[in-house]
Every structure is written in structure tokens, then in C-alpha cells.
Structure 1
Amino acid sequence: MDASYHRNPIYITRVDYDRLTQLVQLERQVHGNGRVAGLSYELKRAQLVDSHDILPDVVTMNSRVKLRDMSSNKELEITLAYPKFADINNRKISILAPVATAVLGCRVGDVVEWPVPNGNATYLVEKVLHQPEAAGDWVS
């Protein structure tokens, strides 16, 4: 994997890990490895945590997060979504998009990078605005 993704430890709930691993396997069958290489890499290095034990400042699936561009200081607010629920108009970004893959499992204060057409985008994870687990939305 190239160096465009952050190197901080990342934390993923066991439920998210299982669902994302299935997604990676299905995507590989249909589209090959290209679309899921980044996500696959992040899943392999993730520390797994039970949903009840995940810290509230960790970006999990379906979390809404505020990012800050390190070069322009502009804010970006996104929600991590499974591909079938992605909706760019409502800023629900597919986990297969580089930005979503880059922030998955990060904590507030982490700096992440992901590839863009003219290089890399570098953002600070400024705030987790909504995390399903912290809101008591337990998934089994």
C-alpha cells in the first residue's frame, strides 16, 4: 500500500470489520482488487474492538465526521457509508472512496492523507459529530 494513508493505529468494531471484510470479498469477485486495495490494507492493520468498548472519538461506519484541510483550512463534513447507501448530495461517502477509507478507525486529532488527482489531500480529523455506537445504536 502506498504511503497516502495515515500510519496512526486505527480501531474498528468487530461488527464493522466483519461487514467490511465481506464487502471487500464481494467487490474483489466483481471488480477485482483495485477498488478495495486501500480498504483491505486498513482492515489488515486495524485493532478490533467490541462495539460497546469503542471510544466515542473514533470514526466508525455511519459516523459523521468533521475534517479540516491542512492546506486551505476549509472544513469538510462527511458520513461514512456502505456503497449502497452512499449519497453524495447528503455527504454520505462510500467506504470505498479514498477519503472514507482514510478516516475509518481514526481518532479526533489524527492527520490523514489520501490520493487526489494532483497529489495528496491532508486533513485533520477535527470532530466526530455522530458515532452510532456512542449514540447507543448497537448493532449485533
Structure 2
Amino acid sequence: MKYPRIILDKKEYELIKALIHPISESTSLMNSCISRLREELKTAELFTNGADFPQDVIRLNSIVDVNTPFGIMKIQLVLPENSNSEQKRISILTPMGSALIGYAEKDKIMWEFPNGTHEVEILKVSHSQF
């Protein structure tokens, strides 16, 4: 990891906490990803000034190039109501979305997907239009 813990904008942190609060704990893949995200939120570094937020860190609406077991993908990380698989807009509540939020360019992370645990490498992060 480039930074010692995930990095989030304070407003986005509060929004994510509100989104995951009603999701119950269970053994399903989705809930295990949310449980891991809950744990990461406990130690997240929070920024209140957007100008100070590192530009290489994934946040809501970031456009991200990732190397996955399925190949290199370009996705945009969005709120659940804005997700659209055809447009490659991935909800932060999906296994991939919850794996990426708060991580930085060049980070390699191990994450559990429907077909098993795999390494994901963050190749590029941008904050412009998709």
C-alpha cells in the first residue's frame, strides 16, 4: 500500500457508513466484502479539505484503470443508484467497488470475488469525466 491505511473524504466516509449501516452481517460474499470495508473504515485517514485530498487515491466518481484476473478494466466508482454495468459504472457496494475505495494508484490488493480471492492492481486513477 502506498499509504498506511485507506484515505477518504470525510463527507464520502459518512455517506459510505450510512449506506452500509443497514446491511446485516452474514457469510455471503457481498456481506463479507461489506464487513471488510467496515473494518477499513475504522482506521481510515479522513480529509476535510478537498484541495488536500491526494489525487492518486480512489474516491466516489473516480475513474480507475485496474488490472484484474479478468484483464485490464476501466471503471468509474459510483453510488449504488448510479451504477450501470454497460457504462462500466461500478457501485461502491459491489465486491470490486468496496475493494477499491480509498486505495491509491499502484496499490496491489487481494480481494475476494465470486470466483475466489485474486490480486487487483490499481494502474491509474483520475477524477475527470468518464
TM bucket (normalised to shorter chain) is 0.7 to 0.9
Q: Is the 8 A contact 1:8 1:110 kept in 2?
A: no
Instruction: After superposition, give the CA deviation of every residue in 1:77-119 in whole Å (9 maximum; x if it has no partner).
Output: 1111111111111111111111111111111110012112332
Cα deviation for residue 131 of structure 1 reads 5.7
> Aligned ranges for residues 36-55 of structure 1 at < 5 Å?
36-50=34-48, 51-55=50-54
Does structure 1 retain, via aligned residues, the 8 Å contact 2:96–2:113?
A: no
Runs of 4+ in 1 over 6 A off after TM superposition: none
Q: What's the % identity of the aligned pairs?
A: 28
**Superposed displacement of residue 42, structure 1:** 2.2
Kindly report the root-mean-square deviation, in angstroms, between the aligned alpha carbons of the 2 structures: 2.1
Name the counterpart of 1:75. Answer: 72
Amino acid at match of 2:82: F
Give, as a single letter, the amino acid of the residue that structure 1 aligns with 2:17: T
- DSSP 3-state at the match of 1:99: helix
CA gap 1:119/1:8 in 2 versus in 1, 3 angstroms? farther
Q: Counterpart of 2:92 in structure 1: which amino acid?
A: I
Aligned AA (1:83) = P
The structure-2 alpha-carbon separation of the partners of 1:91 and 1:8, relative to structure 1 and needing over 3 Å to count, comes to farther
In the alignment, is residue 112 of structure 1 matched against residue 109 of structure 2?
yes
Match of 1:21 among 4, 17, 22: 17
- Structure 2 stretches lacking a partner, 5+ long: none
Alpha-carbon shift at residue 76 of structure 1 (Å): 1.1
1:94 aligned residue: 91
The TM-score, its normalising length taken from structure 2, stands at 0.81
SS of the residue aligned with 1:20?
A: helix
Query: TM-score, length-normalised on structure 1?
Result: 0.76
CA distance in 2, matches of 1:66, 1:57: 12
Aligned length: 120
